[in-house]
Amino acid sequence: MNKIDQMKYVGSMQQLAYIRPIQHLQGRASSIKSYHFQNGIISFESMIDKCLDIANLTYRGNNISFLAKQGLTGRMDFDTIGEEGLRSLMGGFLFTCGLENTCLKCSDGNAEYPMHGRIRSTPAESIGSRSYWDNNNYYLEASGEMREAELFGKNLVLSRKIGTSYDSNHFVITDTIKNESFRDEPMMILYHFNLGYPFMDENSELLLPSVRCEPRDEAAMRNRDLWHKMEAPQVNEPERVYLHDLASDNDGNTFAAAYSHTLGIGIKISFNKKYLPKFVQWKSLQAGDYVMGLEPTNSGVYGRCAEKDIHIIPAQGSEVIELDIEFFEGADEYERVKQQTMNLMN
């Protein structure tokens, strides 16, 4: 339906699609200010106080994301200090890890690198949102920038834009990471996408063009053949972490997808291996911590101190990372994405 015909049916387009700034008022969430996106099909909350990361995600009313036991949790100044690093990990659909460290915490001399880094708890500056028509499409966009910097040290800026449109089955995250210092800087980044119940259950599976799967430890090794299958929750079951090498097309494009046979819904996360050459899978069957993590990254799974070849951004250099999150429905679309997986691997 074109713009003129569409507007005959509504008073305001907010009946159908909007971005609304909201603020939570109680409990652990009381400090969170967010942008609430609703495009008619997809709904999610982008947290202004926490890297514009995505707290929750629904598709046609079905929950897709995972939320840890502590629930929606706002930003605290001590989020990344000591054991608070783990307590502050609330999950959500996406939290961004980096820019100095990803995965395990470690120390190197006087330098402390907290679990999954500090950018995930960095509030956004220069924020803005808009909803607008372009020809016959109604777009929703929000943006902001997060700075990870210190005196006599690094000065890395992550500028993020999140966009979708009315009645669309996908949204796009575009990150520009710039080194605004006058020296080359190490930069680690990992996009921690978290899928939860009811989207994830024992009838869910992953569709990855994986040509190599490396278990992180013995717990993952014991169940290596089941990496692509979600199983029923289990009591006292250790997490399983796998490092995958994903096939791509000639331009480096690849994806990670998951499908719920229970709901008949799938999600596909597309990205390019130029800046995200590695992929981590996190599978937790622990009762109460039931989640599947899909994690495109430029790093490994052992933390900065164990990395032998850390990615470098040159002084005053920048790079752009785009992630396209798309939903698909039904058996035919499942087979289509499954075939795309096979095509990349052949």
pLDDT tens-digit map of 59-102 = 999 999 999 998 888 876 556 666 666 666 778 999 999 898 88
Distance CA 215, CA 281 (A): 10
Q: Is the peptide bond before 123 cis (omega within 30 degrees of 0)?
A: no
Q: Which two tokens stand for residue 342?
A: 């096979």
Angle at alpha carbon of residue 104, lines to 116 and 95, rounded to 5°: 20
Q: What is the mean pLDDT of the chain?
A: 93
Average pLDDT score over residue span 276-305 = 92
- pLDDT at position 79 is 60
pTM, two decimal places: 0.96
Q: Which of 84, 88, 96 lies closest to 32, judged by CA?
A: 88
Contact yes or no for 34/22 (Cβ under 8 A): yes
- pLDDT at position 107 is 64
Task: State the DSSP H helix or E strand holding residue 235, giving kind and residue range, or none if neither.
Answer: none
Q: Which amino acid is at 82?
A: G
- pLDDT at position 106 is 66
CA pseudo-torsion sign 96, 100, 102, 105: negative
Burial class (CB in 10 A: 0-12, 13-18, 19+), 166: buried
Q: At 335, phi and psi to the nearest 5?
A: -65, -35
Q: Which residue range(s) make up the domain with 116?
A: 3-345
Average pLDDT score over residue span 250-258 = 98
Distance CA 19, CA 38 (A): 7
| The total number of structural domains that make up the chain | 1
Average pLDDT score over residue span 272-278 = 97
User: What is the DSSP code (8-state) at residue 221?
Assistant: H
Task: State the DSSP H helix or E strand holding residue 120, giving kind and residue range, or none if neither.
Answer: none
Q: Which of 175, 128, 129 lies closest to 156, judged by CA?
A: 175
Which of 95-104, 116-125, 279-288 shows the highest mean pLDDT?
Answer: 279-288
Please write the tens of the pLDDT for every residue from 148-164.
999 999 999 999 999 99
Is 10's pLDDT higher than 70?
yes
Q: Which of 206, 320, 331, 343 lies closest to 263, judged by CA?
A: 331
Among 6-10, 85-89, 243-247, the minimum mean pLDDT is found in 85-89
Distance CA 325, CA 52 (A): 16
Is 104's pLDDT higher than 70?
no
Please write the tens of the pLDDT for every residue from 306-321.
677 899 999 999 999 9
Q: Which residues, 6+ apart, have CB-to-CB distance to 346 below 8 Å?
A: none
Among 48-62, 99-113, 329-343, the minimum mean pLDDT is found in 99-113
Q: Which two tokens stand for residue 142?
A: 């929000």
> What are the Cα distances from residue 195, in Å, to 88, 235, 241, 302?
18, 19, 15, 22
Sheet of 125-134, strand order: 125-134, 137-149, 155-165, 170-179, 318-329, 265-272, 253-260, 204-207
Residues constituting the chain: 346
CATH number of the CATH domain containing 307: 2.70.98.10
C-alpha 63: how far from chain center: 15
Q: Is the peptide bond before 99 cis (omega within 30 degrees of 0)?
A: yes
Q: Which amino acid is at 72?
A: L
